[in-house]
Structure 1
Amino acid sequence: MPVSTRALDREIARLAVPAFLALVAEPLFLLGDAAVVGHLGTRELAGLGLAGTVLTTVVGLCVFLAYGTTAGVARQLGAGHRRAALAQGVDGLWLAVVIGLPVTLATSVLAHPLVGLFGASAGVEDAAATYLRIAALGTTPLLLVLASTGVLRGLQDTRTPLVVAVLGNAANLALNIALVYGAGPVPRLELAGSALGSVLAQAGMALALTAVVVRAARREGASLRPDRAGIRAAGRAGVPLLVRTLTLRASLLVTTAAVVLAAGSASGDAVPIATHQLALTIWSFLAYVLDAIAIAAQAITGRHLGAGDVAATRAVTRRMVRWGVLSGIVTGALLAAGSPWLGAVFTPDHAVRDALVPVLLVAAAAQPAAGVVFVLDGVLIGAGDGRYLAWAGLAVLGGYAPLVLLTSALGAGLAGVWVVFGVLFMGGRLVTLVRRARGETWLVTGATA
């Protein structure tokens, strides 16, 4: 193997492996809460589930704070402007605060109406509102975690976010146990204690990551004061990535709606809905493997284009696409091999287990394409090509949504819906991304895209 190829592989692995471990640590936060709250009762656990859905949606829509900051900081770093890179990173932190404060207030004040949208029973709704009203205070810290993580990724550092994620999870679990059940002088707060423990852990993570960025900015002489022009620029850059994220989430919601539509026409059979949720959960977990390579793609692509090195950008893109294909083949093969047994991990219902097998086989077949999609998505984000990603996302959603709903209405089963998901949604994304990557338009060099 040529030395240059080895060097590329080492660089990709150096960024992707810690990124993957940090990504896996994210869902463990809610899992830790669930493990503690679950012993309080079913009502409390259901309330946590509803409140967690609201919070993950709000924070998930702001993932552009990480992606946009990674791309911008990496470009400035590649251009040799480390001070400007950190100044841009500080602007991203201030944008997180500007967005986070009003969102925190709105989520906390509107906690009851928000969880009421799910139509749960009064007891579950009250529990969810109790949790959300307190947990909303962690919104701004979580957005600061996203922004500061983006800065560090742009600086080619994915290890620090990993360390903070691990320590944050450990602190969250310890605080939850102490505050939910009481320990020594700490009173028993039950569900409210779980929310408070999470907020404290999130605040600690935000403080640790922000401190790392602030120290780096001071070393380079970058200003820490809010720069209105810089914050506005960061906000404008984030809008296309927000649209992209909305199209992705809308596509998943439409897929779930198609499954519910098919289940409703089958005398309200809950098996397809439960099976779909399990399949989507497994699909989402496997996405962490592919998303880790995409994060490496963001950081490396931005740096090379900032340095004006188009040849290196092309070379690393080709290499990362191979990584994506290989990762997709491996995850697909593992998923197919485990499909007869994975259902038993989640449910004792044999009907759900049997229905899950063909769906997982369809999902396994789509994994290699998903590997390419995730990598090229990361490459184009790193290149600052968010506007194209937004329009491409709208185009794919516009073509996919009516067809998957029509397929469901015509009586296609759950596996049929997933075939449409794999062929039209993932296939549509694959076509739009490969077409763009083969062109030259996105290869904009220099410190700004």
Structure 2
Amino acid sequence: MSSTVAPATAVSPRRIAALALPALVVLAAEPLYVLVDTAVVGHLGRVPLAALAVGGTVMTLTAWIGTVVAYGTTGRSARRFGAGDRAAAVAEGVQASWLALTAGLLVAVAIAFGGGALARTLAGGPGEVADAAAGWLRIAALGAPGLLLAAAGNGWLRGIQDTRRPLLFVLAPNLLSALLCPLLVYPAGLGLVGSAVANAVAQTLSGGLFAAALVRERIALRPRPRVIGQQLVLGRDLLVRGVAFQASFLSATAVAARFGAAAVGAHQIAVQLWFFTALVLDALAIAAQALVGAALGAGDAAGARFLARRVALLGGLCGVAFAVLIAAGAGLVPSLFSSDPQVREQAMVAWPWLVALQPIGGVVFALDGVLIGAGDVRYLRNLTIVAAFGGFLPAIWLAYGLDLGLGGIWAGLTLFVVLRLVALLLRLRSGAWVVVGAVR
């Protein structure tokens, strides 16, 4: 079955928004559910809440693996779709789903046998919190195959520019789980276990809906090791890139903690706002993945370049809008998170950096999406490693050595983002990322 893709130069901002907005809702669904889950469990007491924090950290890492699968699948599927071969685009989803299912089963088995040791490690030793976290993890991990299947499903459906089904397949299970969680925790008397059951049910149902969508496509469902191997290479590069990010932000928190409780509290406020705006801008990057991949798959190099410029401009404009809002909220927002005057004072040290980063970050996130859609992931991996280990990490540890405080840490983050911006713009200008055809 073939597909017809409009020329990339005909893609309007409205079309980009039509892909980005549903992606944003899907991206936000899981964090919003986690907030509901936390609120429900929080009323059980200190130990269950701490156990949820420990267990939730592990499942967040599993969700991160899912993001890698989704991003890698979107670019490959979009290229096939742009080349006029919808069946081949969906077939990429089949292989990604086999990969996701295998990884999810491995996670579930690993946690079944090693969940106790993992919980004790994260909880700082044996005790009530570690025991409760291990019990929560063993049940919640049963949803890992569904969680990763849903990620693969999001990837191939975005690749064929279907935004309706991912929205339904993610929102409906999460809404069901949000209703189940308080019922299982309180009236059913399951306590913390009820939270884990609600998680596993939602993730399994979501994964099942995406798997059923593949079956309805009526294409071959057998695994193809060669294609899975190609997807693993792409996923490896994205994982390494993600590890560089994690190392950078964990180090930044560690350095902030050395400046005192007020500094690390203010850093947490600012960095969570940064992550929130990044989540919103990531939706634009997802639209770029699908559209640029389709343009290159269709052999439309000029159109891909046009899309890259347009998406970068939109990312910058969204960043400017966030900068204005964050600047206007300087006197109010920190007080919503903390009543401690020292924390609010320290937040004001980070605030100008946070505001200045928004337009720069908007362009960077958009261009990340362009290069992922183009399959230029190795360049992104190398760039992130160089910017993190050659810029961000030395800068923040220098800030510690010279006692520069929170401002020094955020100057390091700004350096990290600026280095990426310069390198991405140079890559964009070089055209080395523009490789046409159904596969890269």
TM-score interval w.r.t. the shorter chain? over 0.9
- One-letter code aligned to 1:344: S
C-alpha contact 2:47 2:129 (8 A) present in aligned 1: yes
Mapped contact 1:325–1:372 kept (Cα < 8 A): yes
Q: Please give the residue correspondences for 1:412-431 in structure 2 after superposition, counting only pairs within 5 Å.
A: 412-422=404-414, 424-431=415-422
* 5 and 84 in structure 1: CA distance in 2 versus 1, 3 angstrom threshold: closer
Residue 241 (structure 1) aligned with residue 238 (structure 2): yes
**Structure 1 segment 260-299 matched on structure 2, within 5 A:** 260-261=257-258, 263=259, 269-299=260-290
Structure 1 residue 69 corresponds to structure 2 residue 43: no
Aligned partners of 1:339 and 1:6: how far apart in 2? 40
Q: CA RMSD in A?
A: 1.7
Amino acid of the structure 2 residue aligned with 1:175 = L
Name 2:214's counterpart in structure 1: 213
Q: Distance in 1 between matches of 2:425 and 2:113?
A: 44
Q: Counterpart of 1:95?
A: 99
The equivalent residue for 2:256 is: 259
Q: What CA deviation, in whole Å up to 9, does each residue of 1:100-121 have, x standing for no partner?
A: 1112211232222223233447
Moved more, 324-333 or 226-235: 226-235
Residues 279, 117 of structure 1: CA spacing in aligned structure 2 closer, same or farther, 3 A cutoff? farther
* 8 A contact 2:8–2:303 mirrored in 1: no
Structure 2 CA distance for aligned equivalents of residues 404 and 414 of structure 1: 9
Which structure 2 residues correspond to residues 22-33 of structure 1 after superposition, within 5 A? 22-33=26-37
Contact 2:320–2:359 (CA<8 Å) still a contact in 1? Answer: yes
* Alpha-carbon spacing, 1:353–1:77, altered in 2? closer, same or farther (3 Å): same
Matched, 1:142 2:143: no
Preserved CA contact (<8 Å) 2:63 2:148: yes
**Alignment partner of 2:56 out of 52, 56, 67:** 52
With over 3 angstroms needed to count, the CA separation of the structure-2 counterparts of 1:338 and 1:61, relative to structure 1, is: same
% identical equivalent positions? 43
Q: Distance in 2 between matches of 1:431 and 1:75?
A: 27
TM-score by length of 1: 0.93
Check whether the contact 1:321–1:371 (CA below 8 A) recurs between aligned residues: yes
Change (3 A) 1:360 1:128: farther
Question: Which residue of the partner structure matches residue 266 of structure 1?
Answer: none
Which residue of structure 1 lines up, in the alignment, with residue 364 of structure 2? 373
In the other structure, the counterpart of 2:303 is 312
- 2:345 is matched with 354
Alignment of 1:126-205 (within 5 A): 126-182=131-187, 187-205=188-206
Q: Distance in 2 between matches of 1:286 and 1:6?
A: 28
Q: Deviation string for 1:291-348 (max 9, x for gaps)?
A: 0110000000000000000111111111111100000000111111112211222222
Indicate the larger mover: 206-215 or 8-17.
206-215
Q: Which moved more, 1:282-291 or 1:64-73?
A: 282-291
SS of 1:110's equivalent in the other structure is: helix
Structure 2 residue runs without a partner (length 5+): 1-6
Aligned to 1:13: 17
TM-score normalised to structure 2 length: 0.94
Q: Distance in 2 between matches of 1:379 and 1:179?
A: 43
Cα distance, 1:257 vs structure 2: 2.0
Are 1:22 and 1:166, in contact at CA under 8 Å, matched by a contact in 2?
yes
- Structure 1 unaligned blocks of 5 or more: 264-268
Aligned partners of 1:63, 1:324: CA distance in 2, in Å?
20
Aligned residues: 432
* 104-113 vs 69-78, which moves further: 104-113
2:226 equivalent in structure 1? 229
Q: Conserved in 1, the CA contact under 8 Å of 2:323 and 2:356?
A: yes
Check whether the contact 2:36–2:178 (CA below 8 A) recurs between aligned residues. Answer: yes
Distance 1:116 1:431, change over 3 A: farther
The alpha carbon displacement at 1:241 in A equals 1.3
CA contact (8 A) 1:335 1:361 kept: no
